[in-house]
Chain A
């Protein structure tokens, strides 16, 4: 398995896996550190991050945000991303955990 690939896999607590661009996922400081080869975590070898505290619904939204952020990196008037009210608290915890 290659140490560096363009895509990484994020696996939620209920077993859903999301394959996202590495550069997009790395805006999260936590994921960046997990995947940093120099730090030698298991995730950096397998390019797979497993989140035991984030379920599929929330992780899907997080991945959506990664691409939202990628898209609006340098644009001036950024429209707000739609966040469903019922996921608010869980997403807040996830965002806090992932540092995004």
Chain B
């Protein structure tokens, strides 16, 4: 901006001389060449207002006997910051005896600590904040890690910092309210005012939030996290998560997701889509985690998969440690379909380096009734209602009662959906009459959770539902095509279905790459 700011006077001027007349450059923009505004001048004042600034830097050089002058400034006040700093620097070069004297007048803007025009103080403030951050990072573990996290988030939003580092501060939980300010984040246009804006700074102001939550003690994630669609990097490494919400795929700008070092023993079905469709776009780190692995061995006579007894160690069954032949066969078949045709025609290196997903086997399907209690396997056989997730099942599985295997949702489900729309379910359980069956209150809690995180989707028909009617694990091979089928290369995905008719296992031989 070529502003005709008057340069500081040459110091050889006689001290007693009266203030100089405006220079030519001054005249060029003030048509009337006078300090006073004439009435006729008001008509042309539509754009840049004129105001004067007390050049306090110069006013303090009493020893110079400088005549106190006012500078003419044109343009909005925020341009002052840049110019006054230049002037400051210039005068500092000229004089060693620069004194930083507080004028005693502090003009704070309405929410920040920055007084306008003092770029220096802003930097000082930032530096101080850094120190505070470092110091409180140490204290945070003792007093209030969550409050600290909220302050860090707020600070990042205030400064337009897209990288939010909440790592290693001992968070055990983080509330939705703490992450709420991130919705208001906008990218900083020019984080440094010393240079003219480069071309890439003219991109849109939508931030690419990088949220680092690694090294905490989080066991659950707030619902608000999945509403922050601008998150591009999410690191949840080394936490205590036991389940990854399926809502993770709502973050459709993710380029990096790290959930390694948690307590996950299965992944939501939607992560398969993440691995599959955006494999090139999104980098997903899943291991190490205590994932379930199919526990199988080969029965030598029938070569059928058998469940490995708990008591039998690997020593008695040498084949136990090896993955069963049947899985191997399915794996090879899947790999063939992936490479088929392609291999003889154009064996591209690029294609080979892609990661493959090959369906291996499901676990037993757990069928639930409309209120969410287990129908099969029957409670008498498994009193806890838990089934052995690690035993792969090769034969097809059908629902327990054919009569109930309709695609229509149950009345219970319909009412829950209607309640989600019409009521605030967050604390409805406290208002229920005392004789309410526990199944009803549990279902309402589930519905409230569904409102917060978004309802689960049926993994077969993709319709949202409140109460799952069937759930099972599916084991998939995941790895590059030069990998062999080992326990480490198998990922368990949890599938849920909205009706018994939807409880259909992926067909054998399904593979993606």
A interface residue numbers (CB < 8 A to B) = 26-27, 62, 65, 68-69, 72-76, 78, 80-81, 83-85, 88-89, 91-93, 95-96, 98-100
Contacts and interface: CB of A to CB of B under 8 A. Distances in A.
B423 A96 contact: no
A84 B419 CA distance: 9
Nearest to B439: A96
Contacts of B403: 26-27
A16 B479 CA distance: 63
Interface of B: 369-371, 403-404, 406-412, 414-419, 421-423, 432, 436-437, 439-440, 443-444
Contacts of B369: 99
Contacts of A65: 411, 414
Given A88-B422, A92-B419, A78 B414 contact: no
Nearest to B428: A89
A73 B423 contact: no
Nearest to B435: A93
B440 A96 contact: yes
Nearest to A26: B403
A93 B410 contact: no
B247 to A, nearest CB: 22
Contact of A91 (B371, B408, B415, B423): B415
Contacts, number: 76
Contacts of A62: 411
B406 A80 contact: no
Contact of B408 (A69, A96, A98): A69
Contacts of B443: 92
Contact of B412 (A73, A76, A89, A100): A100
B123 to A, nearest CB: 57
B409 A88 contact: no
Contacts of A26: 403
A96 B412 contact: yes
B419 A75 contact: no
A69 B404 CA distance: 10
Contacts of A98: 411
Contacts of A85: 418-419, 421-423
A27 B404 contact: yes
Across the A-B interface, give the 5 residue pairs with the lowest CB-CB distance, nearest first: A85-B422, A83-B418, A72-B408, A95-B412, A95-B411
Nearest to A84: B418
A78 B408 CA distance: 6
Given A69-B406, A75-B407, A99-B369, A88 B412 contact: no
A47 to B, nearest CB: 19
Contacts of A73: 406-408
Contacts of B418: 83-85, 88
A93 B371 CA distance: 11
B408 to A, nearest CB: 4
Given A80-B417, A83-B415, A88-B418, A95 B423 contact: no
Contacts of A68: 408
B423 A100 contact: no
Contacts of A99: 369-371
A91 B411 CA distance: 8
Given A68-B408, A81-B414, A93 B419 contact: no
Given A27-B404, A75-B407, A83-B415, 18 more contacts: A65-B411, A73-B407, A76-B407, A78-B409, A81-B411, A83-B417, A85-B418, A85-B422, A88-B415, A88-B419, A88-B422, A89-B419, A91-B411, A92-B440, A92-B444, A95-B411, A99-B369, A100-B370
Contact of A72 (B407, B421, B422, B437): B407
A80 B432 CA distance: 25
A72 B408 CA distance: 6
A75 B444 CA distance: 28
Contacts of A100: 370, 410-412
B140 to A, nearest CB: 44
Contacts of B415: 83, 88, 91-92, 95
Nearest to B498: A78
A68 B408 CA distance: 8
Nearest to A83: B418
A93 B440 CA distance: 7
A65 B369 CA distance: 17
19 contacts: A65-B414, A69-B408, A75-B408, A78-B408, A83-B414, A85-B421, A88-B415, A88-B418, A88-B422, A88-B423, A92-B415, A92-B443, A93-B437, A93-B440, A96-B371, A96-B412, A96-B437, A96-B440, A99-B371
Contacts of B409: 78, 80
A85 B436 CA distance: 18
Nearest to B431: A89
A22 B175 CA distance: 51
Nearest to B369: A99
B433 to A, nearest CB: 9
Nearest to B438: A96
A90 to B, nearest CB: 9
A97 B374 CA distance: 17
A72 B411 contact: no
Contacts of A80: 409, 414, 417
A35 to B, nearest CB: 14
A78 B409 CA distance: 8
Name, among A27, A73, A91, A96, the residue most crowded by chain B CB atoms within 10 Å (CB to CB): A96
Contacts of B371: 96, 99
